Structure 1
Amino acid sequence: MKNLVSAKWLKENNNGDMVVVDCRFDLQTPSYGKDSYLKEHIPNAVYMDMDKDLAGDVKEHGGRHPLPNLNEFKSKLESCGIGNSTIVVVYDDGEVAGASRFWWMLKYIGHDKVYILDGGIKDWIKSGYALTSDIPKKENKYLDININQSMIATVDEVRKNIDKNKSIIIDSRSFERYKGEVEPIDKKAGHIPSAQNYFWMDVLENDKVKNSKKLKDHFKKVSKYENIIVHCGSGITGCVNFVALDEIGIKSKLYLGSWSDWISYDDNEIKTGE
């Protein structure tokens, strides 16, 4: 698995040259991640907050979790000891959502040496490894930013790929939200026309990412498309499908604003049902 590392691997390689990042979060309880980190975390881990560090100010368009100011994000990474040659391992509770968002953002700004702890902190604990409440002190490093535009899709690009034979739009939300039966967060329910539902949690099995064989079977209908656009509600859980696709060599783009951006345009069409 090229984007994932095990708890055993992290335990054996967690040294001063590596930066471990805690990205635990809960959309319903914003303080959960930071509170959990301060209580206990993997040794040498720094904390990145979903709302304060991994997202910017919400505006009329752009969705609920737009990108932060990238210069400010760069400075935060540098202050955490992340430089051009730094190996970074990110984790959350094991659902991979927070970790995948951070992984995607580092890849987007051109830092390729980033990996996700498969199974998250839960697997670390299950493996019998110790936690700490100590806050590490990191030496400031220098980090270049080289934006990879091929990883992101705009709302215009999504519009152009609706009902195209060589394109697929993947909706990563739950089937009920996709069909428009429920919408617990956003103001409108339904899905983007022609989007197909691949619930992000379906790439997980026993609290870990499925192996490559199972992922290839899960996404076998996706591989035939030339243009693959992934989205979710606000650009977080869609990153899980993005990572899973990358694991099996399928390149996709993330519609970062996702459903919450799509519905901010009154003229964008909305579908319901299957």
Structure 2
Amino acid sequence: MEKIQCVVSPYWLWERLHDPQVVVVDCRFQLANPQWGYQQYLASHVPGAYYLDLEKDLSASPNKHGGRHPLPDRDLLAQKLTSIGIVSGETLVVAYDDSRFAFAARLWWLLRYLGHDRVALLDGGWQGWIADGYPVCDAIPAPKSGNFAPNPQPDWIVDIETVKAKKDSPSVVLLDSRDGDRYRGEREPIDPIAGHIPGAVNSPWQLVSNERGYLQPLSRQQQLWADYQQAEEIIVYCGSGVTACVNLFSMELAGIHTAKLYPGGWSDWCSYLT
């Protein structure tokens, strides 16, 4: 089997739009307007693409604790993935958004967490597809018959108790993926308390791409994490386990394959402070 790609170009995808082994997923979303992404999808999308919603498909309903976007019920997600033609270990899934991988990376991480490594992100996202002049459509593809059997990797995630126990260890890096001003507590547009988990360092997820939504060169990805290569453990978080996946994607590109996600993130941590 060929080496699994983590990222594909618009041209690569255009050449394979009719390949039955490729499933394209539109992940566009806006936190401030949860209906927006699906509305955009209905208006125009990559031909044959299915839509997965951050809050309806890629997250469970939030509770008092656990963060704003808890990991989805794996069996419900597996049913959804099966219905769009994904076969475990076989189908290549290509995910895109228009937010510099913010939401597509969540699907990338979830699929791999559930044992499906054949997933890639579309470099440049929706904007890159449009800018290069590739076709779009508004037709909703019919359901397909797939077979997705989830095989979760429990050691890929940590909960708040684990973070509390490990955050002060010199061999553990706790990495906050949010904007610098949110990390510093200067601004907090979503959660009730500003600040960060004590001991965390900051590397904003937007550093992984440029302003046009294309990945930075591999050398830049490696540079981002050079200071943490010797850590025994890296725990990555953001506000609610979504944009942290962009940094986890970058780490994978850079050769760091053991970083873990704290899915609850700051929204879970600060829920115990209110």
Decide: shared fold, TM above 0.5. yes
CA distance in 2, matches of 1:235, 1:266: 19
Aligned residue runs from structure 1 range 7-26, under 5 A: 7-15=10-18, 16-26=20-30
**8 A contact 1:172–1:241 mirrored in 2:** yes
Identity of aligned residues (%): 42
Structure 1 distance, partners of 2:157, 2:225, is 20
CA contact (8 A) 2:186 2:194 kept: yes
- For residue 23 of structure 1, what is the amino acid of its counterpart? C
Query: How far did 1:117 drift?
Result: 0.4
Matching residue within 32, 35, 38 for 1:31: 35
Within the candidate set 19, 28, 40, 2:44 is matched to 40
- Would you say the 8 A contact 2:98–2:213 is kept in 1? no
Q: Secondary structure at the match of 2:11?
A: helix
Do structure 1's residue 253 and structure 2's residue 260 form an aligned pair?
Answer: yes
Unaligned runs of 5+ in 1: 268-274
Q: Give the C-alpha shift of residue 224 in structure 1.
A: 2.0
* Aligned ranges 1:138-157 → 2 under 5 Å: 138-157=143-162
1:182-232 Cα offsets, whole Å, 9 max, x none, are 111001111101100101101112421111111111221121211000000
Letter matched to residue 208 of structure 1:
Y
Residue matched to 2:214:
208
Task: Give the 3-state SS of the residue equivalent to 1:56 in structure 2.
Answer: coil
Does structure 2 retain, via aligned residues, the 8 Å contact 1:25–1:50? yes
The SS at the match of 2:85 is coil
Task: Map 1:150-165 onto structure 2 (within 5 A).
Answer: 150-165=155-170
Q: Supply the AA of the counterpart residue of 2:249.
A: V
Classify the secondary structure of the residue corresponding to 1:194.
coil
Equivalent in the alignment of 2:6: 3
* Aligned residue number for residue 71 of structure 1: 75
Out of 183, 186, 194, which is 1:189 matched to?
194
SS state at 1:153 partner = coil
Work out whether residues 237 and 261 of structure 2, in 8 Å CA contact, stay in contact via their aligned partners in 1.
yes
Q: CA deviation at 1:94?
A: 4.7
User: One-letter code of the match for 2:241?
Assistant: G
* TM-superposition CA deviations, 1:75-99 (whole Å, max 9, x none): 1111111112111100001510110
Q: Could you tell me which runs of 5 or more consecutive residues in structure 2 were left unpaired when the two chains were aligned.
A: none
Q: How far apart, CA to CA, are the structure 2 residues paired with 1:224 and 1:185?
A: 34
Q: Secondary structure at the match of 1:221?
A: helix
Q: How many equivalent pairs are there?
A: 267
Q: Which amino acid aligns with 2:72?
A: P
Q: Please, which moves more after superposition, 201-210 or 128-137? A: 201-210
TM-score, length-scaled by structure 2: 0.94
Contact 1:63/1:234 (CA < 8 Å) preserved in 2?
yes
Root mean square deviation, CA, Å: 1.3
2:245 aligns to what?
239
Q: Write the letter of the residue equivalent to 1:8.
A: Y
1:122 aligns with 2:122: no
Q: How far apart are 1:67 and its partner, in Å?
A: 1.4
User: Following TM superposition, by how much is the alpha carbon of 1:118 offset from its aligned partner in structure 2, in angstroms?
Assistant: 0.9
- Which residue identity does 2:43 align to in structure 1? K
Do 1:55 and 1:66's aligned partners in 2 also have CA atoms closer than 8 Å? yes
Contact 1:2/1:247 (CA < 8 Å) preserved in 2?
no
Q: Does the 8 Å contact 2:5/2:119 carry over to 1?
A: no
The runs of at least 4 consecutive aligned structure 1 residues that moved more than 3 Å come to none
Shift of 1:60: 1.6
Q: Is the 8 A contact 2:101 2:213 kept in 1?
A: no
* Structure 1 residues 3 and 178: alpha-carbon distance in aligned structure 2, compared to 1, 3 A threshold: same
8 Å CA contact 1:94, 1:123 repeated in 2: no
TM-score (norm 1): 0.94
